[in-house]
Amino acid sequence: MNNKQFGILSLPVIVGALGYFVDIYDLLLFGIIRKQSLIDLGLTADAVTTTGENIISIQMAGLLLGGIIWGVMGDKRGRLSVLFGSIILYSIANIANGLVTNTTQYAIVRFVAGVGLAGELGAGIALVSELLSKEKRGLGTSFVAGIGLTGAVVAYFISKEFNWRVCYYIGGGLGFLLLILRVSVFESGMFHEIKKLKIARGDFTMFFTDRVRFRKYMLSILLGLPTWYIIGVLVSFSDQFGKEFGLKEDVSPGKAIMFAYAAISVGDVFIGFVSQWLKSRKKALYIFYGITAIFMILFFLQKNGSAAQMYIICAGLGFGTGFWAIFVTMAAEQFGTNLRATAATTVPNMVRGSLPLIILFFKGLRGSIDYVTAGLITGIAVMIIAVLCAIFTEETFGKDLNYVEGELASGP
């Protein structure tokens, strides 16, 4: 199969973008309706923050586990098997979310939803990367992420019109509609080729049995840490930070998420063109790290400001973290076809799964220093780690992806 026949606006790319749209709608929905849903379940205002942190952490743990499961399946059984299986699981979970009656049920179902949601992005990026030519794949994956991330914006506006339970039902319904579209998409030619070879596929342990692969894998994960620090801490709990900053009005976390993700979607498309112009993934990444750092400084300099100011800064933070598409594309480009779906699926979900550790570090600091200073120190640590890892990461722009990891088995 000649990958060059596929354009940036070809059917597989468009369906991939719509798939990620539904994925992000469901993934961010809890953050948007967190306060409304938890208060409706009987929690006091004081308990909403703590319980919200716990449920987000549990959802991210589901993403971490799901990333491994779906990643391995993507290389063993094909990219499309993952896309079908993950959609069915998270669609059922979201419908179940609309039926919960207590926070224990809520947490369990969000964990299951997290497992399901883990498969969509990585398998989609791996598939698009293999179907497009090396000259087009950066723009293609940026298009997938840019369109997909607007799912958070749609989730926000739907939350303004419907009860939180109905919002979950809509998410489940969108997933099943997506399943129908997926039928029209076909498997990667590269995957079909390696199925004929006697070589290990989707062996997660291969990341840890070779020093070079392990180094590439860990660097790929750590590159993305700032994304979920920004979304999972600063934006999701912007209401609490707003109180600490002495803002004149209450901040809506759902509105902050909407502004951030609208800007992330723009950033994800823009970084694809920047990478193409510079002929470099890493240089584009450095530019967006810089933008993120600038808006982090502005975030923590707020004092006696307004909610509107907070939303603008959250949008700036979102635009800066629009390197999500390039970071996941780099992960896919780092590894051979027999491990590509495993890498592209597990790496972003390892980053998402790191959020509980980031929150734990943040909480630990709050025991000895104030809320704002703890958030700032956490952010500085995350940014330093990411930049150092970028320095040591291989440049993958224009890399030929038609290769495998490990040695072919001998014999007929």
Q: Convert the pLDDT of each residue in 224-243 to its tens digit.
A: 999 989 998 999 889 999 99
Would 251 be classed as within a structural domain?
A: yes
Residue 408 is predicted with a pLDDT of 47
Would 210 be classed as within a structural domain?
A: yes
> What domain range is 138 assigned to?
3-391
Would 412 be classed as within a structural domain?
A: no
Question: Mean pLDDT throughout 376-402?
Answer: 92
Average pLDDT, the chain: 85
Q: Percent of the chain beyond pLDDT 70? A: 90
What gap in Å lies between CA 24 and CA 319, rounded to an integer? 16
Would 131 be classed as within a structural domain?
A: yes
Q: What CATH number is attached to the domain comprising 314?
A: 1.20.1250.20
Q: pLDDT class for 3, splitting at 50, 70, 90? A: very low
Would 410 be classed as within a structural domain?
A: no
Residue 5 is predicted with a pLDDT of 53
- Indicate the burial class of 385 (C-beta count within 10 angstroms; 0-12, 13-18, 19 or more): middle
**Residue 110: CB partners within 8 Å, gap ≥ 6?**
30, 55, 58, 59, 62, 93, 97
**Residue 44: CB partners within 8 Å, gap ≥ 6?**
none
Through-space distance between the first and last CA atoms of the chain, rounded to whole angstroms: 25
Supply 151's token pair. Answer: 């799912």
Would 408 be classed as within a structural domain?
A: no
The total number of structural domains in the chain stands at: 1
Q: Is the pLDDT of residue 188 over 60?
A: no
Would 179 be classed as within a structural domain?
A: yes
Q: Is the pLDDT of residue 74 over 90?
A: no
Residue 186 is predicted with a pLDDT of 53
Q: Is the pLDDT of residue 184 over 70?
A: no
Of 1-10, 29-38, 321-330, least confident by mean pLDDT is 1-10
Would 115 be classed as within a structural domain?
A: yes
What gap in Å lies between CA 325 and CA 344, rounded to an integer? 11
